[in-house]
Structure formats: structure tokens, C-alpha cells
Amino acid sequence: MKNNEYDVIVVGSGASGCTVAREMTRKGKKVLLIEKGGRAEWLGNTITVARMIDIPTLLRNYKDIVIFVNNYGGASNISAGSALPPPDKIFGPLGIDLSTETEEARKEMGVNPLPDELIGENNLRLMDAANSLGYHWRKMDKFIDASKCTGSGNCMLGCKTGAKWTGRVFGDEAIKGGADLMLHTSVKSLIIENGKAIGVETTKKDRFYGKQIVLSAGGLTNVHLLRGAGITDAGKGLACDWLSFVQAVVPGTRTIGSTPMSVGTLEHYDDDGIVILPVGPNWALFLGIAALSGPSHLLKFRNFFKYSSIMVKIQDDLTGTIGKGRAFKKPMTENDRKKIDKGVQIVTQIFKKAGAKESTVYPMKPAGAHPSATCRIGQVIDNNLATQIKNLFVCDASVFPQALGAPVVWTVVSLGKRLAKHLDTVVSG
Ligand SMILES: Cc1cc2nc3c(=O)[nH]c(=O)nc-3n(C[C@H](O)[C@H](O)[C@H](O)COP(=O)(O)OP(=O)(O)OC[C@H]3O[C@@H](n4cnc5c(N)ncnc54)[C@H](O)[C@@H]3O)c2cc1C
């Protein structure tokens, strides 16, 4: 093979792309992993997060707050480490069985609940309040190694100690196994010959050739690459799992310093598509969302250091479209609004039970941290994540058939493992 020829090219190094790269490297394949962003090393602070987040896309679509991340490891760098297995209600109806891959991932990602001292007093108090009202809160699974965790609660600023699993763990394993990683390299188009994908071209016009090409570059980029290759169904509809951080002043406690989403409940998920987990924005995210909500919201910042925060996250409707470049539309539907409102009502009861005055409850403007479902299984790709173009596959949150409305990472890792098994069995040609 020449230097620019590979068995597998993976575009995008999020949790999914790194999983595919690692699994294919372990199968003895020559793998190239291409990442648009760099590798931020100074983790655990707001400046680094601001450098990892795709700010131009955020500003371009400021009316619909949806977060994209460009860095080695993708959005998993700033996840809260909250682990939910692939939901049966999403993949069961498609006949996709991820049970084997889910169990493999559970072991390799170190999924477990945290001990009480790392969960934090605030979370335990909110859990008691919820359960005394008859809800069913419990300690939630995390992909965090308790022996390395300091309990700072700063998971979403990037983990300083390496306690939290990120895509980088598998990406680094792929590199150790012989994969090539190209950072600061943006794929602009696919090279298609006689109806087959044979490579990718970067914005710098470099060309790389692969027997199998996997797009793991997230909901926007995948759409542009597929459209450029003639797959026009991509990008019709976008999910983002709208979430509202609901804040309240509970005397004697506050969210700062509690490990996010380490307790909570999924009891409203199957029927109502609502997930309730305590987690709050840091000061910068709080100010950012408040500023985009209107000047009066900025005044709420006076309580920032006193707030306890519980997130209401929903399975949103598939609305909106991906436009050109960074543009997208993601209107919130009445149905979405009703789900958020229902979650806010539940959370308000819990805050009151925990000792908050209702007047302090402040549900923040909904934002989306899980852009997904733009290249859906069943519409744009088949159950094996294959496109209609031979040797071209898609594997990340963009393939979800609908909004997950729940933590994503364990699901995309499981999908990445399943795709790798499939790639190993199909003959490229
Ligand atoms: C603040 C926050 C907290 C979260 N908390 C949790 C949590 O606790 N648990 C959980 O399960 N999920 C959580 N999520 C969601 C989860 O992190 C993401 O949904 C998941 O990591 C997405 O992985 P992915 O592989 O699908 O895509 P991404 O992580 O989006 O990766 C796509 C990669 O492709 C790269 N790329 C884009 N364009 C190009 C191009 N042209 N060429 C080359 N590379 C390109 C990007 O730079 C990026 O690195 C959270 C998300 C956020 C934002």
C-alpha cells in the first residue's frame, strides 16, 4: 500500500469514530483517523472548552442553541460521564440488537455508579427529596473511574485526571496499534468512482484512499459529505434532545462541586420521553444561555453561586433541516414544549420538597447538546450503517432513527463496535 492508501478511513474522531478506528486496528487493518480539530491538552477550564466548542456554528444559529464540538475525542471530552445503554425502544423496532457490543463497552469503558462521597451531598439530598415524593431516583451509571476522580464536579470542562472515559482512550489505543491520526485536517468531499467510495479529499486538497470509508464527523459534516456525493435525503430533520437546566435556591446546598448526573431517574423516559438528572451549567454556559435568552435573564446570575440545578432532557421531534455551510434550522415544536414543561413541573415539586421557595425556580432556555438523527437508519443508511454508495458507511449520533433523548456515548460506542464487526465481514470492491 502507498502512504496515502488505507483499508479503512474514519472521518471524525468522536467517541464513535475512535471506536471504529480502534476496533478495525485490532483486526489488523491499516486505519486512518482524520480529525478537523486539534488535541486540547489543558483540560478542566472554561477557556479550553470554548476552544473545543464550534463557536462559529453556535453564533451562526444563535436562535437555536445546539452545541457541536471540534477536537480529538469530539463531544465526549466535555460529557458529564453519564452512561446509559442503547435504549431498546429506539433500536428494538429496527431489529438492531446491540446487547453484545453494549456489554463489551460496559467493561471497556468502566461503567459503574460512583461512591457516595463522589456523588456529593447536594445530589443525595435531591434524590431523597424526589424519592420521598414517590419518584424513583437512583444512583446512575457513569463511565468514570472512581479511583482517579477528585469529585470536583467539573466533568463538562474536560477531565484533568483522566478518570472520565472519552473517545481519546480508544483513539490512543488505535494509534498504539498502528493507526494514523491526522489532526487539524478537514475532509471536504468524498472521492467516488463508478458508484463506489474510494477516498476522501481534504480542504487542503490532499487525497487519501481507502477500501472502506466511515463518516463519523457529526450531524452537520456527514450531511454535507453525503449530499456532495448525491445522497440528497441527508439532513432532512435534526434532533438535539432539548434540555433545560432548571435552577432553584435550596438553602444549605448548591450544585457546584457535585458530580453531574450521578443520580436521577429514567422513570419518565419510556412513556413520556423525559429524562431527569441533576446537573448545572458552569458560570460561562449559564451566562451564555442567559444572554441568548434576553437581557432580563442575565439578572438571574446573581443567584448563580447559590443555585441547585436539575436538567430536564427530552426526546424532541425531528424538525428542521441542515442548510448550507454551518446553517441549520431547529424549531422547537409544541410537543417539545409540553414535554419540557412537564419535566419542569416535576422538578419544581422536587425542589420545593428539598426546601426551595417556588419563586426561586428558574427554568433556563432549552438548548441542545446532542445534535443527531440527520442521516437516519432506515432513511439515509441501512441497518448495517451502509449508504447506497458501495464501501461508504456512517457511524455516529447522526444515524439515530429518532431523538435518543438520553446520554449518547455508550450508544455510539456500541454502534461503532457493531459496525467494525460488519466491516470485517463485507468484501470491499
Ligand atoms: C456538554 C455536554 C455534555 C454531555 N454529557 C454527556 C454524558 O454525560 N453522557 C453521554 O453519553 N453523552 C453526553 N453528551 C453527548 C455526547 O458527548 C455526544 O453526543 C457524543 O460524544 C457524540 O459523539 P459522536 O461520535 O457522535 O460525534 P462527535 O463527538 O460530534 O464527533 C465528531 C467529530 O468529527 C469531527 N469533524 C467534524 N467535521 C469534520 C471534518 N470535515 N473532517 C474531519 N473531522 C471532522 C469533529 O471535530 C468531531 O471531533 C454531552 C454533550 C455535551 C455537549
pLDDT tens across 177-206, in order? Answer: 999 999 999 999 999 999 999 999 999 999
Distance CA 43, CA 76 (A): 13
**What is the predicted pLDDT for the residue at 257?**
87
Bridge-based pairing state of the strands 180-182 and 319-322: unpaired
**Three-state SS for 196?**
strand
**What is the predicted pLDDT for the residue at 283?**
94
**Three-state SS for 237?**
strand
Angle at 28 between CA 23 and CA 31, to 5 degrees: 65
**What is the predicted pLDDT for the residue at 3?**
85
Nearest to 58 by CA among 167, 216, 220, 183: 220
Helices (H), 356-408: none
AA identity, residue 213: I
| Ligand 1 touching residue 4 (CB < 6 A) | no
- Do the Cβ atoms of 200 and 187 come closer than 8 Å? yes
| Ligand 1 touching residue 276 (CB < 6 A) | no
Q: How far is CA 65 from the centre of its chain?
A: 15
Is the overall model pTM greater than 0.95, yes or no? yes
Distance CA 250, CA 359 (A): 11
Instruction: Please identify, by atom number, the ligand 1 atom nearest to the C-alpha of residue 224.
Output: 41
Sequence-distant (≥ 6) Cβ neighbours of residue 359 within 8 angstroms? none
| Ligand 1 touching residue 12 (CB < 6 A) | yes
Distance CA 312, CA 331 (A): 18
**Residue corresponding to grid cell 441549520:** 328
Contacts of range 196-203, beta carbons closer than 8 Å, 24 or more positions apart:
196/389, 196/390, 196/391, 196/429, 197/229, 197/389, 197/390, 197/391, 197/392, 198/391, 199/9, 200/9, 200/11, 200/34, 202/34
| Ligand 1 touching residue 261 (CB < 6 A) | yes
AA identity, residue 132: S
Q: What is the pLDDT of residues 68-115, one digit of tens each?
A: 999 999 999 999 999 999 999 999 999 999 999 999 999 999 999 999
- Do the Cβ atoms of 67 and 58 come closer than 8 Å? yes
Write out the chain's pLDDT in tens, 429 residues: 778 999 999 999 999 999 999 999 999 999 999 999 999 999 999 999 999 999 999 989 988 899 999 999 999 999 999 999 999 999 999 999 999 999 999 999 999 999 999 999 999 999 999 999 999 999 999 999 999 999 999 999 999 999 999 999 999 999 999 999 999 999 999 999 999 999 999 999 999 999 999 999 999 999 999 999 999 999 999 999 999 999 999 999 999 889 999 999 999 999 999 999 999 999 999 999 999 899 999 999 999 999 999 999 999 999 989 999 999 999 999 999 999 999 999 999 999 999 999 999 999 999 999 999 999 999 999 999 999 999 999 999 999 999 999 999 999 999 999 999 999 998 655
| Ligand 1 touching residue 111 (CB < 6 A) | no
**What is the predicted pLDDT for the residue at 310?**
98
**Ligand 1 centre distance from Cα of residue 323 (Å):** 20
User: Helix crossing, 15-26 with 409-425: angle to 10°?
Assistant: 30
**Ligand 1 centre distance from Cα of residue 360 (Å):** 33
**Ligand 1 centre distance from Cα of residue 167 (Å):** 9
Q: Which three cell numbers stand for residue 4?
A: 496515502
- Do the Cβ atoms of 275 and 264 come closer than 8 Å? yes
| Ligand 1 touching residue 168 (CB < 6 A) | no
Probe residue for ligand 1, chosen from 190, 408, 417 as the CB with the greatest number of ligand atoms within 8 Å: 408
Angle at 87 between CA 244 and CA 152, to 5 degrees: 50
> If you take atom 6 of ligand 1, which residue's CA is the nearest one?
79
For 62, what's the count of Cα atoms within 13 Å in the CB-facing half-sphere? 11
Sequence-distant (≥ 6) Cβ neighbours of residue 40 within 8 angstroms? 48, 51, 52, 71, 72, 77, 158
- Do the Cβ atoms of 322 and 285 come closer than 8 Å? no
Q: What are phi and psi of 134, to 5 degrees?
A: 100, 5
Sequence-distant (≥ 6) Cβ neighbours of residue 397 within 8 angstroms? 16, 218, 219, 370, 371, 372, 373, 404, 408, 411, 412
**What is the predicted pLDDT for the residue at 428?**
57
Probe residue for ligand 1, chosen from 76, 227, 262, 263 as the CB with the greatest number of ligand atoms within 8 Å: 76
**Ligand 1 centre distance from Cα of residue 355 (Å):** 36
Probe residue for ligand 1, chosen from 23, 409, 410, 413 as the CB with the greatest number of ligand atoms within 8 Å: 409
Distance CA 332, CA 336 (A): 6
Size of the chain, expressed as the number of residues it contains: 429
Instruction: Please identify, by atom number, the ligand 1 atom nearest to the C-alpha of residue 217.
Output: 34
| Ligand 1 touching residue 202 (CB < 6 A) | no
**Ligand 1 centre distance from Cα of residue 110 (Å):** 19
First to last CA, the chain: 16
Count of other CB atoms within 10 angstroms of residue 386: 18
Composition of the chain by helix, strand, coil, percent to 5:
35, 20, 40
Residue 342: in which H helix or E strand, if any?
Answer: helix 334-354
